[in-house]
Amino acid sequence: MAEKTEQRVAVVTGASRGIGEAIAHALAEQGRHVVCVARGAEKLEAVAKAITDAGGLASTKVCDMSDTAAITEMIESVAKEHGRLDILINNAGITRDNLLLRMSDEEFDDVIQVNLRGVFVACRAALRPMMRGKWGRVINLGSVSGLVGNAGQANYAASKAALSGFTKSLGKEMAAKNITANVVAPGFIQTDMTDVLPQVVKDAAQKAIPLSRFGQPREIAAAVAFLASEDAGYVSGQVLAVDGGMTMC
């Protein structure tokens, strides 16, 4: 059942597929107007249509999350068009996997630009309308790679680990403004990215997961939806691993 907060506006980046798409649907089911953001318009429109066909509220914004000026413009346009911005879900991210000794400066910088700097720019722009509304929820999507590291992903793990310190700092700065900030760190989730992994890699991953299976996008979306809800007003500065128990010890 949707909460009586239909007026709240949520921005979800990377909403055209996978986890971002599931988050967009989950927030719409709560009664939010969801602004779906990604680089490609066609898939975004399909997600928004599915939400509206189900009785929800959704619109789209095309934005390259490596373009800091475009991010700021996108956030400001959402706040202007709707008169508010209450929830920011920073889900968009990229990988440029390589062993550290072979990793180029560009592979490192590209990942940091999108996964960390893009989040910083989006948060900076979104905090202003949240402060005006005296209410806000920021949820940044991390990764278990940022908690325990992963061979071949030094750039990605660094970007996701940095999100933890960034989000905790944001939470402390904004607490007096009734704005919370948290990280959801997914483990192995069944998406397009994991579907293409060799079976031997999938088998090894499942052996490392106490629940012995990959998670579903809707399970990440459920955690995000809680942290974005009215009921999560006393939860801030936390890193919630949704990983089947991989990091429980």
Largest CA distance in the chain: 53
Kindly give the pairing relationship between strand 33-38 and strand 57-62. Answer: parallel
38 beta partners = 62
**Residue 202 domain-assigned (yes or no):** no
**Residue 107 domain-assigned (yes or no):** yes
Tens of pLDDT, residue by residue over 202-230, are: 888 899 899 999 999 999 999 999 999 99
Task: Report how far residue 26's alpha carbon sits from residue 51's, in angstroms, rounded to the nearest whole number.
Answer: 10
**Residue 52 domain-assigned (yes or no):** yes
Confidence of residue 124 (pLDDT cuts 50, 70, 90): very high
Residue 24, pLDDT > 50, answer: yes
**Residue 229 domain-assigned (yes or no):** yes
Residue 5, pLDDT > 60, answer: no
Q: Give the per-residue pLDDT at 2.
A: 44
The average pLDDT across 129-158 equals: 96
Confidence of residue 145 (pLDDT cuts 50, 70, 90): very high
The average pLDDT across 157-161 equals: 98
In sequence order, what are the residues at sequence separation of 6 or more whose Cβ sits closer than 8 angstroms to the Cβ of residue 225? 23, 26, 27, 29, 30
**Residue 209 domain-assigned (yes or no):** no
Q: Give the per-residue pLDDT at 3.
A: 45
Q: Are 88 and 123 in contact (CB under 8 A)?
A: yes
156 in active site: yes
What average pLDDT does the chain have?
Answer: 95
Q: Give the per-residue pLDDT at 14.
A: 97
Tens of pLDDT, residue by residue over 37-95, are: 999 999 999 999 999 999 999 999 999 999 999 999 999 999 999 999 999 999 999 99
Q: Give the per-residue pLDDT at 249.
A: 66
**Residue 203 domain-assigned (yes or no):** no
Number of structural domains in the chain: 1
What is the Cα gyration radius of the chain? Answer: 17
Task: Report how far residue 158's alpha carbon sits from residue 165's, in angstroms, rounded to the nearest whole number.
Answer: 11
**Residue 2 domain-assigned (yes or no):** no
Give pairs for 230-237: CB < 8 Å, separation 24+.
230/3, 230/5, 232/137, 232/180, 232/182, 233/178, 233/180, 235/180, 235/182, 236/171, 236/175, 236/180, 236/181, 236/182, 237/167, 237/168, 237/171, 237/172, 237/181, 237/182
Task: Report how far residue 116's alpha carbon sits from residue 160's, in angstroms, rounded to the nearest whole number.
Answer: 7
Structural domain range at position 85: 9-190+216-238
Confidence of residue 1 (pLDDT cuts 50, 70, 90): very low
Catalytic residue among 85, 125, 147, 156: 156
CATH number, position 77: 3.40.50.720
Confidence of residue 197 (pLDDT cuts 50, 70, 90): confident
**Residue 23 domain-assigned (yes or no):** yes
